[in-house]
Chain A
Amino acid sequence: AAGVIQSPRHLIKEKRETATLKCYPIPRHDTVYWYQQGPGQDPQFLISFYEKMQSDKGSIPDRFSAQQFSDYHSELNMSSLELGDSALYFCASSISQGAADTQYFGPGTRLTVL
Chain B
Amino acid sequence: AQKVTQAQTEISVVEKEDVTLDCVYETRDTTYYLFWYKQPPSGELVFLIRRNSFDEQNEISGRYSWNFQKSTSSFNFTITASQVVDSAVYFCALSPNFGNEKLTFGTGTRLTIIP
Q: Which residues of A contact B (CB under 8 A)?
A: 31, 33, 35, 41-45, 48, 50, 55-56, 58, 88, 90, 92, 94, 96-108, 110
Contacts and interface: CB of A to CB of B under 8 A. Distances in A.
B102 A100 contact: no
A6 B58 CA distance: 34
Which 9 A-B pairs have CB atoms at the shortest separation, nearest pair first? A100-B33, A105-B45, A45-B102, A42-B105, A100-B95, A96-B99, A107-B44, A50-B100, A55-B100
Interface of B: 32-33, 35, 37, 43-47, 50, 52, 91, 95-108
A105 B37 contact: yes
Contact of A100 (B43, B97, B105): B97
A105 B96 contact: no
A100 B96 contact: yes
Contacts of B45: 43, 90, 92, 105, 108
Nearest to B96: A100
A99 B99 contact: yes
B52 A100 contact: yes
Given A31-B100, A99-B52, A88 B43 contact: yes
A45 B47 CA distance: 16
Contacts of A92: 45
Contacts of A42: 91, 105-108
B102 A99 contact: no
For B35, B43, B45, the residue with the greatest tally of chain A CB atoms inside 10 Å of its CB is B45
A43 B101 contact: no
For A42, A48, A99, A100, the residue with the greatest tally of chain B CB atoms inside 10 Å of its CB is A100
A102 B106 contact: no
Contact of A43 (B47, B96, B103): B103
Contact of B100 (A35, A44, A94, A106): A94
B100 A56 contact: yes
A48 B43 contact: no
Contacts of A33: 102-103
